Amino acid sequence: MKFTVLLIFLYISVSFTAFPQPASLAKSYFDAVFSGNYPQAEKILITLKNNYPESIKTKLITANFYGIMFEISGKEDKHFFISKKYADEAVKELIRKKKMTNDDVFRIISAKSIILKMETQRKNYLKVARDMQSVIKYFEYALKHENEDDKMKFISGMYNYYIETAKEDYPLIYPVLLFYPSGNKKRGLKLMKECTNSEDNNISVRSLLQLSLIYSRDEKKAELFRFYFEKLLKKYPDNLIYRTEYITALKKYGLRKEYETQQKKTESIIKKNIFLTDTQKQYFLKKIDI
């Protein structure tokens, strides 16, 4: 279901700006993830768990890490259950707060997104559709607070765009979507473009990725999806998730020369990557038709 896309790509962008623990640990974790260095990301996670085992930060990063492992390591149940456990615990702690901040709302959406993405990958579509209802009120909050910071602006942009594409692409659920706040695709694109210049690197990167995917899958504008993918890969040339998505788009649009160039380059990166397990290498090689 396309409507779940507005959740699917949020989970890597959890923000921890208001936590008392060293912000450098969270930054280092995401730098490692964005660069595809999963063993380094795991080492940072272990440091967090040893020093701050009960913090929401640690729980969200744990959920994030095992959500990624679930996707690229054969969708093993053990990764699903670990990720879900920590995401659920983080949400329970956050919703107990008497007064929520923008950061709290962003973290709740991020944690729920981790679970919904995995459930989508497990093809539990009815569960995803049902559980989406528990997230809508947080999107409504973001719509009202979009001018206050880039995290709210990013969520609002995602919602504005994808709620309207869902109405267009899924007529069977259109009556249900009428009960959700209306969106505006042009406004959604505008907000996400503004977020590409965010000082929060997580938000900037996620906005670039969303625009790359939107212009390749929905708006169908090759010049623009190439522009945004190339900006992403300039920042993180070894990120195989971004690379494989770019190659998929190039193939779809029949851009054979660039497709073959990127395919060959990515194959070399995968085979030389000492951080990936054999299962993970096979996952990425399959994504680029090798």
Q: What's residue 282's pLDDT?
A: 94
Q: Which residues neighbour 225 within 8 Å (Cβ) at sequence distance 6 or greater? A: 211, 212, 213, 214, 215, 216, 249
Q: What's residue 240's pLDDT?
A: 94
**Residue ranges of the chain with pLDDT lower than 50?**
8-20
Structure tokens at 88: 């659920």
Q: From CA 31, how far away is CA 17, in angstroms rounded?
A: 15
State the pTM of this model: 0.88
Q: What's residue 128's pLDDT?
A: 80
Q: How many CA atoms lie within 13 A of 255 on its CB side?
A: 18
DSSP state of 254: T
Amino acid, single-letter form, for residue 231: K
Structure tokens at 239: 């990120």
Q: Are 127 and 119 in contact (CB under 8 A)?
A: yes
Q: What's residue 16's pLDDT?
A: 45
Q: Which residue has the tokens 């921890």?
A: 16
Buried b (16+ CB within 10 A) or exposed e, 24-53: ebbebbbbbbbbbbbebbbebbeebeeebe
Q: Residue 278: exposed, middle, or buried by beta-carbon count in 10 A (0-12, 13-18, 19+)?
A: exposed
Q: What's residue 9's pLDDT?
A: 46
Q: From CA 273, how far away is CA 162, in angstroms rounded?
A: 35
DSSP reduced 3-state for 198:
coil
